Amino acid sequence: MRIKDVVYVYRLVGGEKLAWHGRYHTHGPGEYEFHYFLEGHGAFLLNRSRLTLEPGSLLLTRPREFHSILPEALSRPITYYALVFEAEPDSADDENALRLLESSIAEAGPPRTLEPRDRFLFEELQRLARLDDEGGRRAASYQLLSLIHRWYGHHDKIADRAVARNEHTEKALAIMSRSLREKLGMDELAGKLGVSEEHFIRLFRGTLGMTPFQYFTRLKIEAASGLLTGSRMAVGTIADHFGFENPFHFSRVFRKCTGLSPLEYRRMYTQG
């Protein structure tokens, strides 16, 4: 698979950002697009269909299908990833993956619902696809091919895992999403859930493969990356906005998560 573009849109509400990212448009021959919605309230218009957006939902558009995003509540702006890709010519693996995608569309079932940690896979695809070397782009292509098989070749197993997520983890994820500007301690979060910190960390790690602190930090960095590319806010202001101790602490954590400093990230990923 050849990834043509990956963008992260943070809190789409209105203005120039909505005019560009939410516009009614289609892609050319051979171009597919994934839309992975993380938060917010609105609708996805696809040809003559109107789909309600749900956090965690993965939507796919095929070549020449008209689509747009319609936010419906200023208090609940939409955050999402969009990934445009096409099959490599004469690639049997890519052709098999496209057959999986087309088969899933023919089933006319509900949109896929991904696990919360899958949002970071899109972040990694974005990083790899933007590397200025063939090795990075090839790695991104192989990773996307693998994910298509995981998401569309074993949908029932994915649904089973989603159902199996425990109630404490689900509540923790909701609290984290509402608390990105706060310094939320994991002991405090465990208290809100009515369980011990040790038990909470064990449950969370077992479900999402990382500690709640690691996940919460990555959520902050993901949101910060959206402000870096979608606004002109100073790095220090963004650091303060998300509750980091100071700009130096923010930059150190940002580089650890993304491989780039905030300013390097802004230069590389600034959206049009």
pLDDT digit string (tens) for 121-150?
999 999 898 888 888 889 999 999 999 999
Q: Does domain 166-269 have CATH number 3.90.1170.50?
A: no
Which position has the higher pLDDT, 253 or 11? 253
pLDDT grade for 64, boundaries at 50, 70 and 90: confident
Beta bridge mates, 9: 80
User: Averaged over 176-192, what is the pLDDT?
Assistant: 92
Which position has the higher pLDDT, 87 or 259? 87
- Ranges in the chain annotated CATH 1.10.10.60: 166-269
Which position has the higher pLDDT, 19 or 11? 11
Between 79-83, 163-167, 234-238, the lowest mean confidence (pLDDT) is in: 163-167
Residue type, 243: G
pLDDT digit string (tens) for 154-167?
644 444 444 345 78
For residue 32, pLDDT beyond 70 = yes
- Cα separation, 88 vs 122, whole angstroms: 20
- Cα separation, 177 vs 171, whole angstroms: 10
- Cα separation, 216 vs 7, whole angstroms: 21
For residue 270, pLDDT beyond 80 = no
Q: What is the pLDDT of residue 66?
A: 87
Q: What is the pLDDT of residue 79?
A: 93
User: Averaged over 32-48, what is the pLDDT?
Assistant: 90
Phi and psi at 177, nearest 5°, equal: -60, -30
pLDDT digit string (tens) for 240-268?
999 999 999 999 999 888 878 999 888 87
For residue 13, pLDDT beyond 80 = no
What percent of the chain has pLDDT above 70? 91
The answer to whether residues 242 and 253 touch, using CB atoms and an 8 Å cutoff, is no
In terms of residues, how long is the chain? 272
Q: What is the pLDDT of residue 107?
A: 64
Handedness of CA 206, 198, 178, 225 (dihedral sign): negative
User: Averaged over 93-101, what is the pLDDT?
Assistant: 92
Instruction: Please tell me the CATH code under which domain 2-161 is placed.
Output: 2.60.120.280
Beta-carbon contacts of 45 under 8 Å, excluding residues fewer than 6 positions away, are: 24, 51, 66, 67, 68, 69, 70
- Ranges in the chain annotated CATH 2.60.120.280: 2-161
pLDDT grade for 75, boundaries at 50, 70 and 90: confident
H or E element that contains 78: strand 78-86
Beta bridge mates, 52: 43
